[in-house]
Amino acid sequence: MNYFSSDFKLGILGGGQLGKMLLAETRKFDIQTYVLDPSDEAPCKIACNHFVQGSLMDFETVYNFGKQVDVLTFEIELVNLEALEKLENEGKKVYPSPKTLKLIQNKGIQKEFYIQNNIPTAPFEKFESLENLKSKIQNLKLPFIWKCTEFGYDGTGVKVVRAISDLENLPNVECIAEEMIAFKNELAVIVVRNVSGEVKTYPVVEMEFHPEANQVEYVICPARIDDKIAQKAQEIALQVSKKFNHVGLLAVEMFQTQNDEILVNEVAPRPHNSGHHTIEASYTSQFENHLRATLNLPLGNCDSKVAGIMVNLVGEENFSGPVVYENIEKIMAINGVTPHIYGKKETRPFRKMGHVTIVNEDMKIARKIAEEVKNSIRVISTK
């Protein structure tokens, strides 16, 4: 099929920053794109050929959107599965498949899938509601991690429960209680697989988290770990990818325990925060490879050209309103520093507004500059 400068239409469900960065690649190749998003101010709106405003959870909206395109992919998992299943049954190409998405969308089902497929993961218990969990609290060992099984993102829907009082004000929804793992490192491996089954992995990255917001502060590539551990992480990621039988990207987040076991935490079947550094640091970015995979083109080289660190730009606490990137000129004056602004007009505390990539031949220098960037730039508002 001729995808380039033709009538071919790629549909993307979700118009956020991941879609916007994917559209940089579709524009590079002159591939026609349709985007569906509920917000009239979605970051993707400025970069696609055709923008449709509508709910990603509404059956008719997603189904009718899918009918207009040749291949359908997504940049967010929270989409109407029934519509995708109907489209696929009618012969529409949907990647990753709704069958894969069904196993991932609900965290309880995702965790059970790991157990069934002998994939190492932290012990957990599933509860139909918060009330049900509370009634069995005497059987649970504190502290544990509470996760709602659906609709959680960017640190919402996850809470460390150290005392029973921590369960107050949590929503009364289906949830899991997961054993808290004493880990040395949080790692991630992105696996890319095309329709024909060609598979590649990106180097293992290490994630440093914000202690309060439960969001990644730094993504460091390559991870500062032993080669044997890195190899083990990549092997497990490939095993997970094979079992899910996905097409496109699969980001596999993992824990490296104190005794160097690798446990799978969760996965995302789309471009992911842990791969943003690939735009500057890799031969082929995660976004280009997601596109190559879903269109069944040969996969690009996943190796890094240089050490890369990504810093998330999130809204400062106590600031809400029209966004201002304070000191952005200051960080742009530093060698190897590239900011990415997502196009969200309004900032809120901890809202993801952009990221900055730092590349350097020397990882130690890159990490030092990352700290400088983090301490310099502030995402605030005019109000």
For 233-282, how does the pLDDT look when each residue is reduced to its tens digit (9 = 90+)?
999 999 999 999 999 999 999 999 999 999 999 999 999 999 999 999 99
pLDDT band at 352 (very low <50, low <70, confident <90, very high): very high
SS3 content of the chain, % helix, strand, coil (to 5): 30, 30, 40
217 labelled as ligand-binding? no
**d(C-alpha 148, C-alpha 254), whole Å:** 19
Average pLDDT, the chain: 95
9-94 and 123-179 have identical folds:
no
CATH architecture of 123-179: 2-Layer Sandwich (3.30)
266 labelled as ligand-binding? yes
358 labelled as ligand-binding? no
CATH number of 9-94: 3.40.50.20
pLDDT > 70? residue 213? no
CATH number of 183-381: 3.30.470.20
pLDDT recorded at residue 43: 97
pLDDT band at 209 (very low <50, low <70, confident <90, very high): confident
Strands 183-193 and 199-201 come out as antiparallel
Residue % of the chain over a pLDDT of 90: 91
Reported as half-sphere exposure (CB side, CA atoms, 13 A), residue 172 has a value of 4
Q: Which residue has the tokens 């505390």?
A: 349
For 314-350, how does the pLDDT look when each residue is reduced to its tens digit (9 = 90+)?
999 999 999 999 999 999 999 999 999 999 999 999 8
181 labelled as ligand-binding? yes
The answer to whether 347 touches 319, Cβ cutoff 8 Å, is: yes
253 labelled as ligand-binding? no
What are the extents of the domains in the chain? 9-94, 123-179, 183-381
User: In this predicted structure, which of 38-52, 87-101, 139-153, 353-367 has the lowest mean pLDDT?
Assistant: 139-153
For 105-121, how does the pLDDT look when each residue is reduced to its tens digit (9 = 90+)?
999 999 999 999 999 99
180 labelled as ligand-binding? yes
Query: pTM, whole model, 2 decimals?
Result: 0.95
DSSP code for 106: S
pLDDT recorded at residue 214: 65
Cα-Cα-Cα-Cα dihedral sign, residues 80, 85, 91, 97: positive
